[in-house]
Structure 1
Amino acid sequence: MKKDIIIPVVKDVFMAAVYEWNEEFASHAWYAYIINKSELPLEAIMIISQAEGMIDAELRKSTLFRHAFPRLEAGASIKVELLDENIFQLDNRFMVTFFSEGTLFDKNYIFPANTISVDNVIDLDNNKHQGILSQ
């Protein structure tokens, strides 16, 4: 029976840590974005984020954040949340669930500890954003 269960693979949907200007803070800041590079829209998107890891032999966790978005068009992106630089020394995990053409998709995206850094920034989204893609 297990062999009959089809688990769809997420393709062309990414989480990114984007480094951009923040008018309110009058400085650059890091934001999490979901990017849809597929040819189909995503619907009923749920994103749960949390950072966790070991620091000085002690397990540290951030608050769990939940986000919901009704739709993300093909080729578009949505700003999900502001990222606090104090959690970059932890693994940052984004659990993403969405529907596309009536099929439920689910994927965990991870930014390993100390990878969110200006030194690792690349051009994303045809140069609309600069940041780091998750693993």
Structure 2
Amino acid sequence: MKKDIQIPKVSDVYVAIVYEFNATYNSNDWNAYIINNKDVDLETVLIVSKGYSESKETPLMRHTIKMLPARSYAKIEYLQDEVLKLNNEFKITFFEGNQMFDKTYVFRKNTINSRALENLPLMKEKGVLKK
């Protein structure tokens, strides 16, 4: 039975961690975003995130985006500096048409930093990208 289950490969959907200015608090913050670089809308996007190490684990954070339009992005959550010292995992599940897709993106501990910044698809910001 398991051999009959087809799990499609996710492409052109990314998670980016962006270092950006927060005008409300007059500070620079790390924020996680989901990027839909596809030509189709994503429906019922479910995101479960957590930080973890050998000795610590953050509570699970759950987010839902009803629809993420084609060639767009949406903010997932703010990341505190203490969480950057942990592995950060984002499990993304979404529907494209009638097909469900699922992928896990992991940012290893201490890899979210200013030395790892790169240009991001669709965004005018720089960030740390997982494809």
Global fold match (TM > 0.5): yes
Which is worse superposed, 44-53 or 2-11? Answer: 2-11
Superposed displacement of residue 2, structure 1: 3.0
> Superposition pairs for residues 1-135 of structure 1, below 5 Å?
1-54=1-54, 59-126=55-122, 128-134=124-130
Distance 2:50 2:25 in 1: 23
Superposed displacement of residue 126, structure 1: 4.6
Q: Give aligned-pair identity as a percent.
A: 40
Instruction: Report the TM-score when normalising by structure 2.
Output: 0.95
Aligned residues: 131
Instruction: Report the TM-score when normalising by structure 1.
Output: 0.92
Q: Counterpart of 2:56 in 1: which secondary structure?
A: strand
Q: Counterpart of 1:88 in 2: which secondary structure?
A: helix
Structure 2: unaligned runs, 5 residues or longer? none
Please provide the CA RMSD for this pair.
Answer: 1.2
Equivalent residue letter for 2:53: G
CA deviations over 1:80-129 (Å, ceiling 9, x no partner): 10011101111000011000011000110000000000111111125512
